[in-house]
């Protein structure tokens, strides 16, 4: 299925090196939001059409918010993609690793339903592969190597950021509109001052410690 791994030592931008070694329909999958203290973990699944690939796709962490939104809009018109999410309650119940895999599985299932066919291979960022029946290839730092995975990181990041900005209006003072729930100094201090919300991950150490100290 996959004829070896392409050399990556001189690569500066993700490309189709992995996709070119696979016949058929290839999905790229990535998740965002493992590290925040608040909000869901989100995954994207993308099926790129080679004749319509937007220029400038890269790991979402290396792009400005404006550039991510622009590329997300372009992918909406020029590719097929779907997202999947695991919410805070699921994260606390099954742990962040399993919740991330669940979000990936939901994204892939949604994309299959959208395009009406299953993938011949799924390129997944990182080491872990969800429990699913499709042939898959885990790629360390895949969002910097594979265009499909990088595109997935973009759509997942944009959608999760939108959720956090909206949540910041319901729960002002935590700075979610710019820290997106990550454990910045501002966010940690706000937790102590304002108390955690239902949007916070109680299984994460700073939130768990808050309630332990209160008790």
| 31 annotated ligand binder | yes
Q: pLDDT digits over 85-130, tens only?
A: 999 999 999 999 999 999 999 999 999 999 999 999 999 999 999 9
Give the number of domains in the chain.
1
d(CA 80, CA 210): 42
Q: pLDDT digits over 196-207, tens only?
A: 999 999 999 999
| 125 annotated ligand binder | yes
Q: What is the band of 2 on the pLDDT scale with cuts at 50, 70, 90?
A: very low
Q: Residue 154 maps to which CATH number?
A: 3.30.420.10
d(CA 108, CA 188): 34
Q: pLDDT digits over 122-154, tens only?
A: 999 999 999 999 999 999 999 999 999 999 999
Percent of the chain with pLDDT strictly greater than 70: 94
Whole-structure pTM value: 0.92
* Domain residue limits at 154: 19-168
- Is residue 173 included in any domain, yes or no? no
- Is residue 33 included in any domain, yes or no? yes
- Is residue 73 included in any domain, yes or no? yes
* Measured CA angle at 84 (ends 62, 97), to 5 deg: 75
Given strand 41-48, what is the order of strands in its sheet?
A: 79-86, 41-48, 26-32, 121-125, 136-139
| 55 annotated ligand binder | no
């Amino acid at each position: 299925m996959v004829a070896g791994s392409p050399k990556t030592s001189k690569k500066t931008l993700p490309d189709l090196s992995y996709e070119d070694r696979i016949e058929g329909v290839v999905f790229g999958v990535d998740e965002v939001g493992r590290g925040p203290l608040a909000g869901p973990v989100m995954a994207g699944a993308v099926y790129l059409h080679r004749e319509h690939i937007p220029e400038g796709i890269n790991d979402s962490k290396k792009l400005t918010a404006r550039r991510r939104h622009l590329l997300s809009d372009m992918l909406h018109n020029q590719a097929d993609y779907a997202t999947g999410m695991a919410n805070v309650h699921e994260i606390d119940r099954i742990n962040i690793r399993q919740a991330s895999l669940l979000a990936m599985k939901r994204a892939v299932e949604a994309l299959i339903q959208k395009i009406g066919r299953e993938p011949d291979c799924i390129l997944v960022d990182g080491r872990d592969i969800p429990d699913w029946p499709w042939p898959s290839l885990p790629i360390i730092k895949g969002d910097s190597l594979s265009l499909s995975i990088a595109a997935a990181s973009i759509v997942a990041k944009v959608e999760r950021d939108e959720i956090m900005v909206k949540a910041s209006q319901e729960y002002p003072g935590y700075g979610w509109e710019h820290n997106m729930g990550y454990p910045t100094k501002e966010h940690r201090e706000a937790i102590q001052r304002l108390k955690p919300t239902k949007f916070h991950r109680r299984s994460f150490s700073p939130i768990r410690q808050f309630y332990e100290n209160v008790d």
